[in-house]
A and B are shown apart, each in its own frame.
Chain A
Amino acid sequence: MKYKFDFGALVEYWPQLLDGALVTLEMTAISTVSGLAFGTLVAIGRRSHNRALSRLCGAYVETVRNTPFLIQLFFIYFGLASAGLRLPVFVAAVIAMVFNVAAYTAEIVRAGMDATPRGQLEAADSLGMSTPQIYWHIVLRPALERVYPALTAQYILMMLATSVTSQISVEELTGIANNVQSNTFRSFETFIVVAVIYLVLTLILKLAFWLLGLALFTRRRRLGTSL
């Protein structure tokens, strides 16, 4: 195998690649926050005594988890466009990501909520707390602490999955990389550099989640034990 590496050809594209990385981070941040909020609501809906609501949430979760992300993306971008709703690519991509990650979030958060010991619910109930108060203080907070590692792993996977949105020409890291390699014909170098950037992004994200975990979960920080 004779291949001469030439990373020099990529230097002038460095700012574009960085912009792409920023777009990737931006999409990840928006869909992490919205996905967590929406997914938590779906988890609550799925645990509801209202049969119709619970089934609706269950159907949503199963549909999303059993279809490819790319199809969901195409459905939202091309499907809605042919129905007359043309979304900007960035918006369509973020909606697809939230739609996707919220389903996984819902299942993870639900598992955490289901692990609440019955006795704690009875205690809260006996103290006169209302159902929303119990949900917020007794169910949700410890649930998030319990499933935090699984949850953050899911969001890191989602960050990597943003690369799929290059298929509808979102100018995130992979999209930019495609342009760069077709301009320079340096595919090998381009994708090596891009892989390294993804690695760095993952590390940044992991660090951010770790710091956030320290800030959020005082008990865990002080005792170092899991709930």
Chain B
Amino acid sequence: MSAVIELKDVHKSFGLVEVLKGVSLSVARGEAIAVIGRSGSGKSTALRCVNRLETIQSGEITVCGHPVHDPRLDVRKLRLDVGIVFQSYNLFPHLTVEENIMLAPVTVKKLRKAQARDLTAEALARVGLAEKAQAYPEQLSGGQQQRVAIARSLAMQPQVMLFDEVTSALDPELTGEVLRVMEDLAKGGMTMLVVTHEMGFARRVADRIVYMHQGRVWEVGDGTMLANPQTPELRAFMSHDL
């Protein structure tokens, strides 16, 4: 099994605060990994290091063959293989849903407009928002905006998708509609790294769950791990999950 994402002893500090203290993790193609842990455990930072939104101090990160730790890396090539969805959606407010999704395929991949439009329609259909192509972000609910953000990433046809607490700003109903889209993606064989507080989703959808604590990978296991924590820290963490 060849790894699509490989982190080896990754260290990352913000100033004097070390947030990642030697993180190692290997993700195989088609795997969906849920990363859980309390706020400040370094899980979001680890995710952002994977597509070089953050640079690391030491260690190695390889993603789809790109040496992410290498300062000479062509970051834009890496970004073509890695999609990311954020907690705050980050749609472009001045563009319609369709324009949001088409922008990168047209400007970055130099696709023809017609071709990009087809790709957009396909991506929108996958997230169940085909009828919203001409709407503007502010006309959509949070859940719909987040699904558009997923479609925008999908339209670039990445090999890996990163999700950074994408449902944390949503109410349970909207969370559900976003998680269903992500579940479909996982079933479709997308390689996914999902930082989340949704324990149900982690348990049900993830092939493996990574529990991070104080900048380290503390425990790794499958869906049953949450019911049988091996470490006191995960047990304490899960005791808050009602």
A interface residue numbers (CB < 8 A to B): 117, 119-120, 122-130, 133, 137-138, 141-142, 145, 217, 219, 222-223, 225, 227
Contact = CB atoms under 8 A, between A and B. Distances in A.
Contacts of A225: 138
Contacts of A124: 92, 104
Given A119-B86, A137-B103, A225-B138, A125 B79 contact: yes
Looking at B53, B104, B149, which has the most chain A CB atoms within 10 Å of its CB?
Answer: B104
B79 A123 contact: no
4 smallest CB-CB distances across A and B, nearest first, come from A123-B90, A127-B104, A128-B79, A119-B90
Given A125-B53, A128-B79, A129-B104, A223 B136 contact: yes
B80 A128 contact: yes
B91 to A, nearest CB: 8
Interface of B: 51, 53, 76-77, 79-80, 82-84, 86, 88, 90-96, 103-104, 107-108, 136, 138-139, 149, 152-153, 156
Contact of A120 (B77, B83, B90, B104): B90
Contacts of B96: 219
Contacts of B95: 219
A170 to B, nearest CB: 39
B93 A128 contact: no
Nearest to A130: B76
A126 B76 CA distance: 8
Contacts of A117: 90
A123 B88 CA distance: 10
A53 to B, nearest CB: 23
A151 to B, nearest CB: 16
A127 B103 contact: yes
Nearest to A132: B107
Nearest to B48: A122
21 contacts: A117-B90, A119-B88, A122-B86, A123-B149, A123-B152, A126-B82, A126-B83, A126-B84, A127-B103, A127-B104, A127-B108, A127-B152, A128-B76, A128-B79, A129-B107, A129-B108, A141-B94, A142-B93, A219-B96, A223-B136, A223-B138
Nearest to A142: B94
A222 B94 CA distance: 11
Contacts of B103: 127, 129, 137
Q: Output the residue of A119, A126, A225 with the most chain B CB within 10 A.
A: A126
A49 B53 CA distance: 18
Nearest to B162: A126
Contacts of A219: 93-96, 136
Contacts of A119: 86, 88, 90
A120 B79 contact: no
**Among A133, A137, A145, residue most surrounded by chain B Cβ atoms (within 10 Å):** A137
B68 to A, nearest CB: 13
B32 to A, nearest CB: 20
A146 B79 CA distance: 29
A2 to B, nearest CB: 61
B144 to A, nearest CB: 16
Given A222-B136, A225-B138, A126 B51 contact: yes
A133 B108 contact: yes
Contacts of B107: 129, 133, 137
Contacts of B152: 123, 127
Contacts of A142: 92-94
Residue with the highest number of chain B CB atoms closer than 10 Å, among A117, A123, A141: A123
A116 to B, nearest CB: 10
Given A122-B53, A145-B94, A128 B139 contact: no
